Amino acid sequence: MGEVGYLITGVKDVRQSKVGDTVTSIKKRATQALPGYTEPKPMVFSGLYPIDGSDYPDLREALDKLKLSDAALVYEPETSVALGFGFRCGFLGLLHLEIVSERLEREFGLDLIATAPSVVYTVELDDGTSQEVTNPSEFPTGRVTSVREPVVNAAVLAPKDYVGVIMELCQDKRGVLQGMEYLGRTAWRSNTPFRWVKLSSTFLTN
């Protein structure tokens, strides 16, 4: 049986404590962190700004509290000429963005403006250097040779009657169909009248 306990620390900023941190003692320190945990990597970025500029401290406090129950949330202060003071937030995906925005509005009573979501772009310059960009304002000056963005390789299993709809959905997300395989009636679905199809596609994440 496992044990349940609690730890009292002198941490003043909750952002200094992360899910998965290794706790060790002063006298017998651990030489390395326990394996098996990696920090969530944000894939979608969006700016959150309060409609009323005076709510900026409340938004900062709400994000701090929300971070306690959502380790995947990443944010940093950001300033916009049009929107004022806000935060540049990183999310796991569009659904995560919607959930966080909804929680901030419902649980903390904030009226927010969210900028258009974007992903991390890798910009290659003609001098051989590269730079990661999450905001259009960070786009480097100079001659750009290429711009790369994340993609997803996905395999979708579906009844053959829905193949057309799924292909249309992938194309709307700028997807590229890599292949299609008819699986027939698989053993785990032998009691259904459907014949299953596997579609392999690559599409951009934003």
**pLDDT tens digits, one per residue of 120-141:** 888 888 888 888 887 777 788 7
Q: What is the pLDDT of residues 150-167, one digit of tens each?
A: 877 778 777 777 878 887
Q: Is the pLDDT of residue 118 over 70?
A: yes
**Residue with structure tokens 């659904």?**
95
Residue 187: pLDDT band by 50, 70, 90 thresholds? very low
The answer to whether 73 and 59 are in contact (CB under 8 A) is no
In this structure, which amino acid lies at residue 82? Answer: A
Give the model's pLDDT for residue 86.
93
Q: How far apart are CA 48 and CA 25, in angstroms?
A: 39
49 CB neighbour count, 10 Å cutoff:
21
Q: Biggest alpha carbon distance in the chain?
A: 66
Q: Is the pLDDT of residue 109 over 80?
A: yes
The answer to whether 149 and 117 are in contact (CB under 8 A) is no
Q: What is the pLDDT of residues 90-107, one digit of tens each?
A: 998 889 999 999 999 999
Q: Is the pLDDT of residue 60 over 70?
A: yes
Q: What is the pLDDT of residues 22-40, one digit of tens each?
A: 888 888 888 888 887 777 8
Mean pLDDT value of segment 56-79: 89
Q: How far apart are CA 30 and CA 153, in angstroms?
A: 39
Q: Is the pLDDT of residue 43 over 80?
A: yes
Give the model's pLDDT for residue 198.
64
**CA nearest 161: which of 136, 192, 131, 123?**
192
CA 163 to each of CA 41, 97, 121, 188: distance values in angstroms, whole numbers, following the listed order = 32, 29, 31, 20
The answer to whether 159 and 199 are in contact (CB under 8 A) is no
Mean pLDDT value of segment 60-67: 90
